[in-house]
Structure 1
Amino acid sequence: MDKYCVGVDVGGTTVKLGLFQTNGRLIFKWEIPTRKEDSGKYILEDVSVAVREVLRERQIHLEQVVGVGLGVPGPVLPDGRVERCVNLGWHNVNPQSQLSGLLDNILVKSGNDANVAALGEMWQGGGMGFTDIIMVTLGTGVGGGVIIDEKIVTGKHGLGGEIGHIHIRDEETEKCNCGGIGCVEQIGSATGIAREARRKMAASDEPSSMRVFGDGITAKDVLDEAKKGDEMALEVVETVGRYLGMALAQLAMTVDPQMFVIGGGVSKAGQFLIDVITKYYNYYTPISENKAVIGLAKLGNDAGIYGAARLVLG
């Protein structure tokens, strides 16, 4: 009898779901709206209904499902309890036990969405073949996840993998969203890259193809112009790469993973960005040539469902 697992990635707008074989093969993926009204009390019920419907359509019995994994946008305590998921309206909820109850007490395991995405990339994505990876997600903010011996490292307070809020820039004067100053997120995120470009343009009168975008410039604009050879855009990318390389060097000296997997929207710049980060990472880790490699994530928006499914496979 074939065995299956289900991965669920709960987002603020949609819930992504995936039906997998236990060998990692994705059979079917789909989405449902995230109903956040009444403090999100309908979300898990909707998930259970969606899972049952797809299993019924595919003539798969619930007994064939080894478990359901759940990625949620917030810190998850060891017992599966979530103190607060602001984007969902959850407060002191245990989605792990609730969803299990809705699915005839099937095994359900939950984790923070960024950590779960990292697990997915290790299992079937950019980190496939490795057991120890650190994923860094460069999006609107900077997220991350640490996987050691194929297990998520969350720490005792859920702060493991909060790579975006490592302090790396002493001369920063503006505050990060976390309340800190000089965080990785302020430089390496899409928002941070655009801010670096605006600062650079305001600080000089040098010509640059970036100026056509004005204050509305995006990280993609900066990276595109840098690829075309614009000198000022290249300076911005060098700054971003230097600080990201510095952050990865600190992580390498602390955790010593086999690989850093770079994901998120900014990573669409591809090997161009990886090469700049790698240059500075190598500069800040002269202690050894035998160290983690840096590569690109491969699963995109599906990383969450892959990682969630992997949670229940031990």
Structure 2
Amino acid sequence: MRAQQPVYIGTDSGATTSKIGGVWEDATPVSTNLLQRSTDAHLGPVMVVQGWVEAISTYLEQNDLQWEQVRGVGVAIPGPRRSYGVLERGPNLPESFVGFDVYSAYSRALAERAGRAIALAVGNDGNMGGVAEAQRVRGSSTGSVLMLAPGSGLGCAYIDEHGLPLDGATLAGMEAAHMPAPLHLLGVRPYPCGCGRTWGCVEIYTSLAGLPLLLAEKLAVRPDHPLASLPLSLKERAFALRSLAQQGDQLATEIFDFQARALGLHVATLAMALDPQFVVIGGGLMDTESTSVAFRERYLQQVWEAAYPYLWPAQQANMRLVPATLGDLSQAIGAALVALYQARLAQR
């Protein structure tokens, strides 16, 4: 019976909300329903970790599972990291989290609750989301997967043949959002990025982070547009663009076409180094509840058309570009999968 089988648990720790998911030994989800709770970061890191453990207990109870069945736990944390499992200063967490050793604290808390040591895997939240989407898109194959997820920033992940993400020597692997965009092809100036770089990070041309800048340039030559006269900040007006584009607004459509083109050029750049079999496009623009089929199809087509001329012939013929499908499930499920995959490697 399933209820007696080993299970692997994933924790997705956001600055506001934490989510719990799980997978069985065969990598299938325990449930497609996430357990979500407030992270309560204002209470400090120790209380946040305790909240994760309590949430796992609730998740197990809801799914008729026991702590004895838990063979591993994964946790998706925001970057950057000082070292494995140790947080660096982040934009959305209080100062008390700077230098906090998530790995050690969570390992101790899990051991205390379960009465035994439980293997813990810690990874970047974007990477964990990529792991889950990779498992979904490639099925039983071992094809490598590149995932790009435009949201408030640009999430990036590369998943290898073992299903594990590329971390790099200093855990800065696949920080591809902050590579320079080909500005000469896009016809734009180098916008400053929140990371501090001024060479024109790809993130600022493909995500919500750069929408106010793109909108400002459009409104400068379109002062008659309804958004130009709204008594709101550029950031607040930028939030309206997705809805306007789906209503056929020309200015909004042009902006998202530009972002898709920028992302497509980035796909081609990364393909030169990584040569993925699958490219998964995620983020809010692929959200089936807030975007139309026509909007998503247009965006993906624009991405592919921008990338295609710069790919090698074999890549043009064999690379597949697909939308993400897991939504909010991805990072918690991905964290659980990394715990599973690491357990498999340890047994070899």
Matched with 2:145 is 133
Change (3 A) 1:174 1:98: same
Q: Which has the higher helix share?
A: 2
> C-alpha separation between the residues in 1 aligned to 2:42 and 2:251?
47
Q: Deviations over 1:164-196 (max 9, x none)?
A: 211012652431111123111111102424532
Q: How does 1:115-264 map to 2 (within 5 A)?
A: 115-124=127-136, 126=137, 128=139, 131-149=143-161, 150-168=163-181, 169=183, 171-181=188-198, 182-204=200-222, 215=234, 216-218=236-238, 221-226=240-245, 229-264=248-283
**Partner in structure 2 of residue 305 of structure 1:** 332
* 1:97 CA displacement: 2.9
Question: 1:190-239, CA deviations, whole angstroms, 9 ceiling, x for partnerless residues?
Answer: 2424532331231356x7676676855336x4455555555444433332
Contact between 1:127 and 1:261, CA under 8 Å: does it hold in 2?
no
Q: CA deviation at 1:286?
A: 5.1
Mapped to 2, the partners of 1:226 and 1:79 lie a distance apart of 41
- For the 8 Å contact 2:23–2:337, the answer to whether it is kept is no
The letter of the residue matching 2:132 is G
Amino acid at match of 2:337: R
Residue 155 of structure 1 and its aligned partner are, at CA, apart by 0.9
Aligned CA distance change for structure 1 residues 231 and 79 (closer, same or farther; 3 Å): closer
What is the deviation of 1:38? 5.3
Take 2:225 and 2:40, find their aligned partners in 1: how far apart are those partners?
A: 46
TM-score (structure 2 length as normaliser): 0.79
Q: Residue 29 of structure 2 contacts residue 333 of structure 2 at CA under 8 Å; is this kept in 1?
A: no
Paired with 1:156 and 1:12, the residues of 2 have a C-alpha distance of 26
Equivalent AA in structure 2 for residue 65 of structure 1: V
Structure 1 pair 203–295 and aligned structure 2 pair: CA distance change class (3 A): same
Q: Which residue of structure 1 aligns with residue 80 of structure 2? A: 75
Q: CA deviation at 1:79?
A: 4.2
Distance 2:59 2:274 in 1: 40
* 2:57 paired residue number: 52
* C-alpha contact 1:75 1:83 (8 A) present in aligned 2: yes
AA matched with 1:90: F
Distance in 2 of aligned mates of 1:79 and 1:197: 39
Cα distance change of structure 1 residues 286 and 57 upon mapping to structure 2, 3 Å threshold? closer
Aligned pairs, number: 311
Query: Separation in 2 of the partners of 1:55 and 1:242?
Result: 44
Indicate conservation of the 8 Å contact 2:146/2:159, yes or no: yes
Aligned to 2:30: 26
- Structure 1, residues 237-266: CA drift from partner, whole Å, max 9, x if none? 332222211111000011001111111112
1:113 paired residue number = 125
Corresponding position of 2:105: 98
Q: Distance in 2 between matches of 1:292 and 1:66?
A: 35
Distance in 1, matches of 2:313 and 2:175, equals 25
Partner of residue 278, structure 1 = 304
Secondary structure of 2:173's aligned partner: coil
Change (3 A) 1:66 1:25: same
Provide the aligned C-alpha RMSD in A. Answer: 2.7
Structure holding more strand per residue: 1
- One-letter code of the match for 1:183? C
CA distance in 2, matches of 1:293, 1:167: 24
Q: Distance in 2 between matches of 1:267 and 1:63?
A: 38
Q: Secondary structure at the match of 1:18?
A: strand
State which of 4, 11, 32 in structure 1 corresponds to 2:14: 11
Residues in 2 aligned to 1:175 and 1:259: alpha-carbon distance in whole angstroms: 31
